[in-house]
Amino acid sequence: MTPTPKYQKAHEQHQSVVSIGKATIGHRHEPLIIAGPCAVESYEQLRAVGDTLVSIGVPCIRGGAFKPRTSPYSFQGLGEEGLKLLAKMRQELGLGVVSEVMCIEQIAVMAPHVDCYQVGARNMQNFDLLKALGKQQKPVILKRGLAATLSEFLNAAEYILAGGNPNVILCERGIRSFDTATRNVLDLGGVAWLKTQTHLPVLVDPSHATGVRNLILPTTRAAIAVGADGILVEAHPQPEKSVSDAAQALSLDDLARLTHEVGLMTAAMKECDKPLPSKIKPIRRQHRA
């Protein structure tokens, strides 16, 4: 007999809470913003981002030390040196650290430096990696695969949960389509569906979903409107000089704007959750015989 999936809600209101450093995401918490550069480049770059995060109330920094790139000739990341730079942001600024793990061997290397592992879209069904992360207790952000169904996505999360690690966060980052106007297609309907099926928190990554800087703010608003528990977004002190994904990196000023708008959208959605005022009544039209 197949056991009940651990990702499944026990009841309609069942929602898990996961901690990343000092931050929390999930049930009744304000949406969590995790922001930072696509790739760690230098201490100066990270410190500029980190100082901004602290000033605008964003508690977690993201940054790639190991980079899965489409081309083997593209920048592959600073490796362990990049992890040490990220750890300095935790030591100096108190930020939670999120970085991508690509293989089992990197788990132990990363453990002292990060507060949360991120599994990228290309590794969503790297089952050996998922099983190994199931033996950890640090939280894991699991990104949806490039062409994964929602069922496949949840079953990938199940590998981590079944291994004994309950601290899983799902991340919708867009799925591949025939259209080239955006980098991927952001499946907001899928986000809303996931919120009805699983107690796991759900992040949205508008940077990889759109690949276009000026589309990140509107898609972030939409993500909060459909119930996302947080936003994972790329930001850089000088976006045009980013060594990877420059076209989708926000400036630090834009990041401050995004944070402000997430607050506005969250307040608006709380109003939408309130009961309909008694003075507002549905219009009932009388039909002639």
- What pLDDT does 275 receive? 86
Give the mean pLDDT of the chain.
94
Each residue's pLDDT tens digit, 150-165: 999 999 999 999 999 9
Mean pLDDT calculated for residue range 262-281: 87
Q: Which residues pair with 60 in a beta bridge?
A: 34, 96
Tens of pLDDT, residues 188-207: 999 999 999 999 999 999 99
- Of 28, 2, 91, 3, residue with least CA distance to 270: 28
Residue 144 covered by a domain: yes
Average pLDDT over residues 168-191: 96
Q: How many distinct structural domains can be found in the chain?
A: 1
Q: Token pair for residue 124? A: 């969503």
Give the model confidence (pLDDT) of 37-94 as tens digits. Answer: 999 999 999 999 999 999 999 999 999 999 776 777 676 778 999 999 999 999 999 9
Helix (H) or strand (E) holding 83: helix 80-93
Indicate whether 286 pLDDT > 70.
no
Q: Is 75 inside any structural domain? A: yes
* One-letter amino acid of 23: A
Annotate 104-161 with DSSP letters as a single string. Answer: HHHHHHHTTT-SEEEE-GGGTT-HHHHHHHHT--S-EEEEPPTT--HHHHHHHHHHHH
The per-residue pLDDT for 28 is 81
**CATH number (domain holding residue 145):** 3.20.20.70
Give the DSSP H/E element, type plus range, for residue 260: helix 252-272
Q: In a 3-state reduction of DSSP, which class is residue 5?
A: coil
Q: Quick one: residue 24, left, alpha or beta (phi over 0 = left, psi -120 to 50 = alpha)?
A: beta
Mean pLDDT of 259-287: 84
Asked if residue 285 belongs to a domain, the reply is no
pLDDT of residue 243: 83
pLDDT (mean) for 129-138: 98
| pLDDT value for 268 | 95
Residue 198 lies in a domain: yes
The pair of structure tokens assigned to 8 is: 């499944």
282 within a domain of the structure (yes/no): no
- The reply to whether 12 falls in a domain is no
Q: What is the residue range of 121's domain? A: 19-272
Average pLDDT over every residue of 202-231: 97
The answer as to whether 3 is a domain residue is no
Between 11 and 2, residue with greater pLDDT: 11
Span 241-260, pLDDT tens digits: 888 878 999 999 999 999 99
- 4 occurs within a structural domain: no
Q: Write down the pLDDT at residue 287.
A: 63
Provide the Cα torsion 19, 25, 28, 33; round to 10°: 140
